[in-house]
Structure 1
Amino acid sequence: MSLPAKVMRDGQLEKRSSGLLQLWKKKRCVLTDEGLRLHDCKGGGGGGGGDGDASGSAWSAKAKELRFERMATVDCVEYKRGLVYFTVVMATGKEIDFRCPQDGTAWNAEIALALVRYKNLQAVRTGRNRQMFKAHLGSTGEDEEL
């Protein structure tokens, strides 16, 4: 059984739609140690009331997940009129555009740091696995010098 993902940040971002008009749509975003979950905003009433509580009816239960294992980088940071614009580039080359308010810690920085942390952990695991594999194969003692 796997442990639930650790939530690093929960809040609102705007994502540019991939349709013809490329409209900005509000999303509730949950940054975890495994990736970024995007929840659609339901209904027209603003986000008053609950600030991210589980029973908040303003957010859909269905989420799109952008997992770090499929992400390549966070790119294209631009600052305009109090907003930060950035792009998440997936390993397939697909680009997903976001924007958020410039105040406080920017989402792009937190996503980029979490992605780097994830990739570093993967590299360490891969290195350990290689060492264990080599140690297992080299257990005959042929390569060892005294």
Structure 2
Amino acid sequence: MSLPVKVMRDGLVEKRSSGLLQLWKKKRCVLTDEGLRLHKSKGSGNGGGGGGGGSCSSSSKAKELRFERMATVDCVEHKRGLVYFTVVMATGKEIDFRCPQDGTAWNAEIALALVRYKNLQAVQSGRNRHLSSASQLGSSGEEEAQ
């Protein structure tokens, strides 16, 4: 019954594992208007590139990094044709990624989508506060005007 999620970009990134060796593992990354979905890469067959339209299927177990739980995206460095960046979660957990530097880098796409999401949340919150205070003024405003 959930609505299809709009896919903004789909392609390959490398994520640093959280284990002792901290190896870089290729992941298929799907950027949606709700966050990131990281799937195990089944080889580099789909080449990764622009956004495929429509909805996102969650076939295999995907790790989901939702914007509501993200704090920021930090670009760490550009080195040997790669961009290294970190997604910082609201809990303080840091998840390291790297991607090729050519074209629009993933860190920029993710950061812009995160800002867009946070702005929409702030606007919605402001509207809710405005509606709430307007309804309170309508009922109690007459009593205070004695």
Is the pair's TM-score, using the shorter chain for normalization, greater than 0.5? yes
Which residue number corresponds to residue 77 of structure 2? 78
Structure 2 CA distance, aligned partners of 1:142 and 1:13? 60
| Pairwise CA RMSD | 2.0
Q: Structure 1 segments of 4 or more deviating over 3 A?
A: 50-53, 141-145
Query: Does structure 1 residue 21 correspond to structure 2 residue 21?
Result: yes
Which residue number corresponds to residue 37 of structure 1? 37
Count of aligned pairs: 135
Query: Does structure 1 residue 108 correspond to structure 2 residue 107?
Result: yes
Structure 2 gap segments, 5+ residues each: 53-58
Which of the pair has the greater relative contact order for Cα pairs under 8 Å at 6+ separation?
2
Structure 1 CA distance, aligned partners of 2:117 and 2:7? 14
User: How much does 1:136 deviate?
Assistant: 1.1
Q: TM-score, normalised by structure 2?
A: 0.85
Query: What percentage of aligned pairs have identical amino acids?
Result: 82
1:1-146 → structure 2 map (5 Å cutoff)? 1-42=1-42, 46-48=43-45, 50-51=46-47, 61-140=60-139, 141-142=141-142
Structure 2 CA distance, aligned partners of 1:143 and 1:75? 52
Deviation per residue, 1:93-122 (Å, 9 max, x gap): 000000000001000000000000000000
Q: TM-score, normalised by structure 1?
A: 0.85
SS of the aligned residue for 2:62 comes to: strand
Which residue number corresponds to residue 56 of structure 2? none
Q: In structure 2, do the counterparts of structure 1 residues 142 and 77 end up closer, same or farther at CA, with 3 Å as the change threshold?
A: farther
The structure with the largest strand share of the pair is: 1
Structure 1 CA distance, aligned partners of 2:23 and 2:78? 19
Q: In structure 2, do the counterparts of structure 1 residues 129 and 143 end up closer, same or farther at CA, with 3 Å as the change threshold?
A: farther
